[in-house]
Structure 1
Amino acid sequence: MTSPSPHPLTSSSLSSTVLVIGYGNLLRGDDGIGQTVAMRVEEWELPAVRSRSVHQLMPELAQELSEVQLAIFVDAALWGDEVSVSTLEPAPEQGLPWGHSLSPSRLLALCQWLYQAVPQTWMISVPGVDFSDSDRLSPLAQERVAIALNHITHLIQNHHNC
């Protein structure tokens, strides 16, 4: 087994804490894109970067979000041809109770409500093509995972340079 390839971001080039949260179902083909990206980020072993690979977004993630300066959510998209990157804001007040599974914007709202802190947040949506029962990503999804990882590298570098 080969060791993970070195990453262009070194620990000395990072001063802020980053949290990458990839979510989706690893047993539904390309729905596992988000978790796959998060696992690859974890392989970088950057001390200022935390990575979470989860099946769904849970309220328990709010505390960890409140402790970072930059958060990046990654999920599979059901349509589209391009990996998209967009900013995220907390969802407007929609009342409580909070469910067990949240959207990224609702999770940010919970973070803001509980901890009065919200990191700069980005959403990376990676289009998939095969969501059938499978524990493997399609070849096209694998290509798009690499694109998402490049976006994450740029977001981290740009955040550091601010």
Structure 2
Amino acid sequence: MTTLRPFTAADLPACLEMFDSNCPAYFAPSERADYEAFLSDPADHGTYFVLEQGGEVVACGGVWQGGNLPEDIGGLSWGMVRGDLHGQGIGTALVTLRLAWIRERWPSVREVQIETSQRTEGYYARQGFRVLGRTPDGFAPGLDEIKMVLKLAPGTGQP
């Protein structure tokens, strides 16, 4: 059974191990300090979740709304699947559950943004996101920053 639940401080070691399992392919090692700082107070940046299968944390990722942007803009943050579990549909479940959470709790959101890399750009494109812009080496040398967006249909919360 797959369960999405809020992150707690007890999840910190599992999330840091998950980050490490995705370095350097998906995250630059230099980003670990930023991620650890984020996890020290994820509520300051929206809501952060872990995805469990059989009581084991297998993925994690966050959602945010507004901030310095209009209330109709939300986003996904720091999403990742444990490195040895890629290709099993866990990432798709994580994206689907977070988008459903946004639709249910923040019905005013009409646009969901994400900052990802060229290594996952195609994955998010298959989920309906389109590229807004790219910054070569934006995260680290060899790891471009790709800004993507998913438009939600007015009144439905659906893409």
> Whose strand fraction is larger, Structure 1's or Structure 2's?
2
Relative to the length of structure 2, the TM-score reads 0.30
Q: Which has the higher contact order (CA 8 A, sep 6+)?
A: 1
Relative to the length of structure 1, the TM-score reads 0.30
